[in-house]
Amino acid sequence: MKGRLFTLSAGRGWFVVVLAAVLVTIALSLLFGTVEAAQRNFYDEGVYRTLTRNLLDHGFYGYAEGELVAYRAPGYPFFNAGIRMVNDSYLSIRIAQALLAGGIVLVTALFTRRLARPGAAAAAAVALTLVGAVAAYSSVELTETLATFTFASALLLACVAWQHNKLLLAGVAGLVLGISILTRPQALLAIPVVAVFFIVMLPGRQGRFMAAAFLGVVVLVLAPWTVRNYVRLDAFVPVSTEGGVNFWLANNPDTTGRFQEIDEVNPELYSRISMLDEVAQDREWIRLGFQYIFENPVDALGNWLRNSVVFLGSRDPWVHQQSNVRGVRMPFLDDRALLPLVAIGLVMQWRSRNGRARFETLLPLFVIAYTVGFFMITIPHARFRHEMLPFVAFYAGIGAVGLFGLAQRALARRRSNTTVPQPHKLQ
């Protein structure tokens, strides 16, 4: 370990760093915000509490009996209700989510260790802890912590499955990804990505067989909820009916790239569509969004490019608001600080690998790319970066270790060039 900060591959030093980052994240998760009583800061928190109480107290899922029965994905309310069945307190939710936040850091490190060096895994864990987003979001009753933990875990399991040719792990990866999709439906986009990786990483029948097993389990996990939605709504709704309105909010003549209340953007349109049933509302918003795109393709493209800048470049105000410990706010917590390291890490990782291994290391890039692409055409709120943070940290960890290595080599060359020659001894 002499002379090199991240020469940890010879032993277990890298995992000691990761474990420390996990424990710090758990501690910050419990310290951020208010532990003793539920906060009332976020509208979505109130929604999820309503859904959870309706499950626990009245035995139905929805905003009210027969109202918006599939508007929100069910994963987080059922998770919340399950914890409250054991101990019905806000503190129990905070503890469970703090453990999941630590789990996100651990899974990120293990994923990075799979595809890169141990030092990069340690750096990724530290980076994810330092930016504060994982701890901050675990302190509120929102979907982010559960969705990100299950999503990152699913990709880690899939990676181990194709590296070791384990069919059972491919199925478990499908199970965990299905749970993530039921928590935040945009994870649906990961299904074809992971399936393609199985086929490429395991050529021939085995790869196709494992991809089929993965896909089959995902479908089995989603099927009960899809069937439930069909029975309740008499329509095919795989997970939720929320996507249509978010799509229209990003594709209309008055879109700004920021969240807007629909009834304020176009009160007359909102009044008309809100009279329709839940599924009809969703489809009408989608139809109007596509109509705007087809009629104004240049403007729509400009909006999407602006949205990508907003998505990647705007500060997350929720992290800033939640990152306080007993009234003392922690400064400089901003996941955007990782983006320069991501660019460096991408270059270094691509240059250091070849063949199938190089393709394998592109998995995090695919995740980042489709996440940005998805929120280009919907609402690009900074909050929605959360699910791709483990993969941002993956490249940031590689970039940090690579920069440190370059600095060490430059310093070593400088020292060798400035060595003072020893005088010759007199004979």
Q: Which residue has the higher pLDDT, 424 or 83?
A: 83
Res 189: pLDDT: 93
At residue 419, does pLDDT exceed 70? no
Contact 364/394 with Cβ under 8 angstroms?
A: yes
* Residue 424's pLDDT band (cuts 50, 70, 90): low
Handedness of CA 228, 230, 234, 239 (dihedral sign): positive
What is the mean pLDDT of the segment spanning 158-177?
Answer: 95
Inform me whether the pLDDT recorded for 41 exceeds 70: no
Q: Given this model, what pLDDT does residue 409 score?
A: 78
Given a contact cutoff of 8 angstroms between Cβ atoms, the answer to whether 144 and 387 are in contact is: yes
pLDDT mean across residues, the chain: 88
Q: Are 182 and 75 in contact (CB under 8 A)?
A: yes
Is residue 248 over pLDDT 50? yes
Q: For residue range 207-224, what is the model confidence (pLDDT) as tens digits?
A: 999 999 999 999 999 999
Measured distance CA(114)–CA(190) in Å, rounded? 19
- What local confidence, expressed as pLDDT, does residue 358 receive? 77
User: Which range among 128-132, 334-338, 406-410 shows the weakest confidence by mean pLDDT?
Assistant: 406-410
Check: CB of residue 147 under 8 Å from CB of residue 180: yes
The pLDDT confidence band at residue 1, using thresholds 50, 70 and 90, is very low
> Is the pLDDT score of 7 beyond 70?
no
124 within 8 A of 78, measured Cβ to Cβ: no
User: Residue 373 pLDDT more than 90?
Assistant: yes
Vertex 59: Cα angle to 55 and 65 (nearest 5): 90
Predicted confidence at residue 410, as pLDDT, reads 76
pLDDT for residue 420 is more than 60: no
**Mean pLDDT to the nearest integer, 120-126:** 95
Task: Give yes or no for a contact between 51 and 118, defined as CB atoms under 8 angstroms apart.
Answer: no
Helix (H) or strand (E) holding 329: strand 328-329
**Among 277, 285, 278, 284, which residue's Cα sits nearest to residue 241?**
278
Name the packing angle between helices 389-417 and 144-164 (round to 10°).
Answer: 70
pLDDT tens for residues 258-269?
877 787 778 888
pLDDT at 236 over 50: yes
In the chain, the N- to C-terminal Cα span, in Å, equals: 42
CA pair distance 270, 84, nearest whole angstrom: 36
Instruction: Specify the amino acid at residue 395.
Output: Y
At residue 156 the predicted structure's pLDDT band, cuts being 50, 70 and 90, is very high
Give CA 84 to chain center in angstroms: 25
**Residues 6 or more apart from 378 whose CB is under 8 A from it?**
243, 246, 247, 249, 250
Nearest of 164, 165, 163, 161 to residue 176 by alpha carbon: 161
Q: Which residue has the higher pLDDT, 320 or 345?
A: 345
| Closest by Cα among 355, 338, 407, 380 to 133 | 338
Q: Say how far apart CA 24 and CA 34 lie, in whole Å.
A: 17
Residues 288-313 have pLDDT tens digits of 999 999 999 999 999 999 999 999 99
pLDDT at 99 over 80: yes
More confident residue, 42 or 133: 133
